[in-house]
Amino acid sequence: MNMGRKLITTVLTIICFTLVASIISMNQSYSFDFYILIYLVYATPLILLIGLPLSILLDYLLSQIQFVNHVLYLSTRILSYACAGVIGMYIYYVLMGAWKEILNFKETLVLTLFGVLAAILFVLIDMGLEVLLKKQRRKS
């Protein structure tokens, strides 16, 4: 596992997630730059302290499985990360002392979807960097 790639993936995910979530969230009451600041402040620790360790764990677990089909591997990896996004948001709820809210589906749905969005962005960026680094090593 390449920890440097994971750290770069984390930084790029924070930037991309902040931009995408801000575009999704902006409205007439609050501007784009307000949401940039809010998502940057709240998403950075979540992605760094929950997303990165879950990513490392998932990559380890997926490396233990022998996939015959590359498409099956990619699908499993993306689905696993989406599930990790859900789990990560529930970990966040528990850490913030809002574990009773987990059962309130309407309250948790939006943040859980943002967790899934961040996780899928993370895995797509990670896979892209993985391909780029393999091509770079072949050229060297």
pLDDT in tens, 105-136: 777 888 899 999 999 999 999 999 999 999 99
Q: Taking residues 57-76, report their average pLDDT.
A: 94
Q: What does the block give as tokens for 40?
A: 């940057």
Angle CA 87–89–91, to nearest 5: 70
- Please state whether the predicted TM-score (pTM) of the whole model is above 0.85: yes
**Percent of the chain's residues with pLDDT above 90:** 72
SS3 per residue for 65-129: CCCCCHHHHHHHHHHHHHHHHHHHHHHHHHHCCCHHHHHCHHHHHHHHHHHHHHHHHHHHHHHHH
Q: Taking residues 51-73, report their average pLDDT.
A: 94
Whether residue 83 has pLDDT greater than 90:
yes
H or E stretch at 137 = helix 105-139
Q: What is the pLDDT of residue 50?
A: 95
